[in-house]
Amino acid sequence: MFLEKIFSHGKKERYVIEDIRRHIELLCKACDAFTVALEKQNRDLIWEVVELEREADSVRRQVISHIYEGAFLPYLRPDLCKFVEIVDEVFDVLKEAAFYCVENKIPEPLRDESIRVALLNFRMCDMLMSSFEAMLEGQDLREKTLAVRIFEKKIDDIKHDLSKEAEGVRIDNFWAGKALSDFIANLTMISDIIEDASDHLQIINVSTR
């Protein structure tokens, strides 16, 4: 493993790498569960997303504490912490989007495109996982970063369609409209944050060369 080879074979480093991997895995699972929940309109799976977010929160704390206990060279620590924080931000936004689905049904005209965005979000997480593994192997991340950007661009296009379609949805009151608007914003913001995480991974990769 690239990072381990360069910096240390210590236990702390191994724990950090394992925990970061676990953190991204949980994100993939959460995005997948969310997509399936939307497809099948299954509320239990929505709660699973919330559970996964809680689990991820504790993994994040472990990563940060191991890093502050002295894992990795000091110059690399802030970047690793920042990466974990960005991934955690994705969980927060995903959880907010999931909460909307607990109490509301996605309006029919927005349903298909919402599912598509959720699936593309999952694809991006998958690519992030793949990027992380590639970084550990010391590979170039250029192709993977580009793939993440392509997904993000696609979601950006759908975002405009969703917003336009939402204008035609009948809304009962201000709060229902706000909740729907927030849902669309959160659902489409996930890709922006994953893109940030991917870019940060690239920065870490370059800084370790």
CA distances from 148 to 55, 87, 128, 141, 167 (A): 25, 14, 8, 11, 29
Q: Is residue 167 involved in binding other proteins (CB under 8 A)?
A: no
- Cα torsion for 101, 104, 107, 111, to the nearest 10°? 10
Alpha carbon 81 to chain centroid, angstroms = 15
Binding track over 175-204 against other proteins, x by CB under 8 A = ------------------------------
Q: Is residue 163 involved in binding other proteins (CB under 8 A)?
A: no
Q: Is residue 146 involved in binding other proteins (CB under 8 A)?
A: yes
What number of chain residues touch other proteins (CB under 8 A)? 34
57: its two tokens: 């929160």
Which amino acid makes up residue 96? E
Which candidate, 121, 158, 135, places its Cα nearest to that of 31? 121
Position among 87, 90, 120, 193 found at the interface with other proteins (CB under 8 A): 120
Residue with tokens 């960005």: 86
Q: Is residue 45 involved in binding other proteins (CB under 8 A)?
A: yes
135: its two tokens: 């970084």
Q: What angle do CA 124, 127, 131 make, to 5 degrees?
A: 135
Residue range at the interface with other proteins (CB under 8 A); choices 6-14, 62-70, 83-91, 120-128: 120-128
Q: Is residue 166 involved in binding other proteins (CB under 8 A)?
A: no
Interface residue list for other proteins (CB under 8 A): 24-25, 28-29, 32-33, 35-36, 39, 45, 48, 112-113, 116, 119-120, 122-123, 125-127, 129-130, 133, 143-144, 146-147, 150-151, 154, 157-158, 161
